Amino acid sequence: MAATLKYIIVDDEELDRLAIETFASGFDSLHKTGSCTNALEALELIHRFQPDIVFADIEMPGMNGLELIHSLAGQVAAPVFITSHPEFALDGYDLEAFDYLVKPVSADRFKKCVHRLLDFFHLREKAAAFEKDSESNFIVIRQGYDKYKIPVNDILYLEAMKDYTKLITASGQYLVLGTLTSMHTRVPSSDFIQIHRSYIVNWNKIDAVKGNKIYIGNQELPIGKLYKKALDELF
């Protein structure tokens, strides 16, 4: 991964911009290349500096954050939306937002977001090609000249990361180029169930379901409202 990840902040509220900048200053891997109050300024900064991450407020005068990211047509690797209105989250995910933070953003929630960002960019550098072994229950991951043969039964869950999908196993994790939807077709539907827009889990590996969370080992994953009924039918 590059030594630092460049980011800009676009938010018409000064205190909110300062809060994100303060949180981000605690991470040596993040470097601010700009901070602005509206989408037009943001477009100029994005074209000039080509940041890896854009922390974009949604509710802004003129062009809003959703329209900003939409206009960039995938030029930003990891757009993160920030808003005080959770109902905008659905639109954010439709634009393949990397994450969605609800104001007031806490330091802990921002930290989780940054750890996911760092993980994503690290894995993206060696993003793998993959193929299903048609004669057995394996997925073959190719990273450069190396190949890894991963038993499908060893996969704990799949996590959407924009145009990539992260495969998490008990022994490691891999990032493959391909959406979560495309990866869902590569694993047995009898064993894997979607629990959230961002997660598909191997239901044989689920240790517990508590409220709107599932637990696989020490991992806690959210259950989306649209998927809860199907999950309840299994447990």
pLDDT at 1 over 60: no
- pTM here? 0.64
- Using alpha carbons only, what angle is made at residue 90 by residues 86 and 94, rounded to the nearest 5 degrees? 145
Choose the weakest-confidence range: 14-18, 94-98, 158-162, 224-228: 94-98
pLDDT at 25 over 80: yes
pLDDT at 105 over 80: yes
Task: Convert the pLDDT of each residue in 33-49 to its tens digit.
Answer: 999 999 999 999 999 99
pLDDT at 209 over 50: yes
pLDDT at 50 over 90: yes
Residue 161 confidence class, pLDDT cut points 50, 70, 90? confident
Q: In this predicted structure, what is the pLDDT of residue 190?
A: 85
Contacts of 129 (CB under 8 A, 6+ apart): 141, 142, 176, 177
Residue 96 confidence class, pLDDT cut points 50, 70, 90? low
Q: Encode the chain in three state secondary structure.
A: CCCCEEEEEECCCHHHHHHHHHHHCCCCCEEEEEEECCHHHHHHHHHHHCCCEEEEECCCCCCCHHHHHHHHCCCCCEEEEEECCHHHHHHHHHCCCCEEEECCCCHHHHHHHHHHHHHHHHHHCCCEEEEEECCCCEEEEEECCEEEEEEHHHEEEEEEECCEEEEEECCCEEEEECCHHHHHCCCCCCCEEEEECCEEEEHHHCCEEECCEEEECCEEEECCCCCHHHHHHHC
Residue 200 confidence class, pLDDT cut points 50, 70, 90? very high
Q: How far apart are CA 107 and CA 22, in angstroms?
A: 9
What domains can you pick out in the chain, each with its CATH number? 5-124 (3.40.50.2300), 129-234 (2.40.50.1020)
Provide the mean pLDDT of the chain. 85
